[in-house]
Copies of this chain bind each other. A is one copy, B any other.
Amino acid sequence: MTLSSVQHALTHFAAERDWEQFHTPKNLAMALAGESGELLQIFQWLRPEQCVQVMQDDERAVQVREEMADVLAYLLRLADVLGVDLEQALAEKIEKNRRKYPVHLARGKADKYTELGG
């Protein structure tokens, strides 16, 4: 399944329920942040080693998968209402970061490297 086919399924899901009226860019950005917050809460009191094993606990594994699905769902809905091609946006961002964080300078340093990862 491609990202755009999932996106269409979500658009259809919202349209069938007449939920497009709620799916303004502002509301969707809020919903995305809200779901990210729920994901955060799963990990907040866990020690590092518990975080790594989180998927071995059946109940938590379901929660993690559902919260991650919700984040992706709202991100795709927001992309839809704003007309953003998410895959292309990500490909461009990776390219930009490749130039911004050359391997030989960025290796092992998280210090100033706060985007896409370090």
Q: Nearest B residue to A6 by beta-carbon distance? A: B90
Q: Nearest B residue to A38 by beta-carbon distance? A: B37
Q: Is the CB of A26 within 8 A of B51?
A: yes
Give CA–CA (A29, B31) in the complex, Å. 12
Given known pairs A22-B117, A43-B30, the reply for A78 and B68 (CB within 8 Å) is: yes
Report chain B residues within 8 Å CB of A6: 87, 90-91, 94
Size bracket, chain A contacts: 35 or more
Report chain B residues within 8 Å CB of A55: 82-84
Given known pairs A66-B93, A92-B65, the reply for A19 and B118 (CB within 8 Å) is: yes
The residue from B40, B97, B103 contacting A34, defined by CB atoms under 8 A apart: B40
Scoring A residues 77 to 118 as 1 if CB is less than 8 Å from chain B, else 0, what string do you get? 111001110110111111011100101001110100111111
What is the CB-to-nearest-CB distance from A9 to chain B, in angstroms, rounded to a whole number?
Answer: 6
Scoring A residues 36 to 63 as 1 if CB is less than 8 Å from chain B, else 0, what string do you get? 1111111111101001101100000000
